[in-house]
Amino acid sequence: MTETPMAAPETDVLALPAGGESVPAPLRITCGLLAGAATLALVALDAAWEQAFVYAACGTGAVALALAELGELSRRAGVRAGGGPLVVGGVAVFLLQWAGWVWPRSGPDPWLVGCLAAVVAVGAPFTARVLRGRIGGALESASVSAASIIYVPVMVGFLTAVRMGWGGAGLLTVLVVCKGGSTGAYLVGKTLGRRPLAPRVSPRKTVAGAVGQVATSMGLAWALAHSPLSLMSGRAALLYGALAAGAAMAGDLTASLLKRQAGVKDSGRLVPGLGGMLDMVDDVLFAAPLSYLFLLCAAA
């Protein structure tokens, strides 16, 4: 008997409203401010150790939760892939990359770890299905496993590279520009938004919100460039803010696409109004590779 995965129908209306938009705006903003304050406190604490032990601990939890949520989204979309082994493997990838940056002489090469992880994520599901004689859903399962490893731990690995290469200032720059820009998008979109940005994927995101996100990210990047945490010139910071905002929006819309296919509004219910871990890091995931490459070229 073969397995036939059932794909969720593509619709314009989410089937399972959960969390997120049902939360009153004041509570959503309050939770966001508390989450932001907690993040800043953890970044400050992490700066006390060159090895980024606090970052490693927080990153381990974030990667595990995000992968678990991504596995649930896949299950709701009709593709059974991942589960516990994928979560454990993703956490191992994150920690191996972190160890490679902390102990470059004795640890594994971080970039090689990422490449090997993608190879294993493709090969392991195929091998498992061959051994079990399961044909149906093989391509979907392998695709989701590989995409999950690249989407979460490998992309987070670029954030690890920023943290180890430019210290707490680099990590703070990425987080402030991305999350601050997302906050600007929410506030401007809620106040002035009329025209949807991507109505089929995320009806509540607006063109005005996108403009607000770019402007906020550019302003925050420029402010950081003129602070003691400066890593680049003011002009470079403006360019970085615009590019990071674009990458963050792409990450946010990608997560919205996955949630729409799965028929849910949020990837989880970790924080009221903010959703799950994947909801809170989707913008940073896409901005991390760009940030690393940009800092390589433009950091002072």
Least confident of 21-30, 68-77, 138-147, 206-215: 21-30
Q: What Rg, from alpha-carbon coordinates, does the chain have?
A: 19
pTM for this prediction: 0.87
Task: Examine the pLDDT at 67 and tell me if it is beyond 90.
Answer: yes
CA max distance for the chain: 65
* SS3 label, residue 62: helix
Task: Examine the pLDDT at 165 and tell me if it is beyond 70.
Answer: yes
Average pLDDT of the segment spanning 104-120: 91
Task: Examine the pLDDT at 25 and tell me if it is beyond 90.
Answer: no
Q: Confirm if 3 and 125 have CB atoms less than 8 A apart.
A: no
Task: Examine the pLDDT at 15 and tell me if it is beyond 50.
Answer: no
* Choice between 107 and 5, residue whose per-residue pLDDT is larger: 107
Task: Examine the pLDDT at 297 and tell me if it is beyond 80.
Answer: yes
Predicted pLDDT of residue 193: 77
Question: 16 forms bridges with which residues in the sheet?
Answer: 264
Tokens 């996100």, located at residue = 213
Tokens 């940030």, located at residue = 291
Predicted pLDDT of residue 173: 96
Predicted pLDDT of residue 3: 41
CA 202 to chain centre: 17
Q: With bands split at pLDDT 50, 70 and 90, how would you rate the model's confidence at 22?
A: low
Predicted pLDDT of residue 105: 87
Q: With bands split at pLDDT 50, 70 and 90, how would you rate the model's confidence at 2?
A: very low
Residue-wise pLDDT tens digits, 246-285: 999 999 999 999 999 999 989 988 888 788 999 999 999 9
On average, the pLDDT of the chain sits at 87
Percentage of the chain modeled with pLDDT above 70 = 92
Dig out the tokens for 273 from the structure.
């109004």
Task: Examine the pLDDT at 154 and tell me if it is beyond 90.
Answer: yes
The packing angle between helices 155-192 and 234-262, to 10°, is: 90
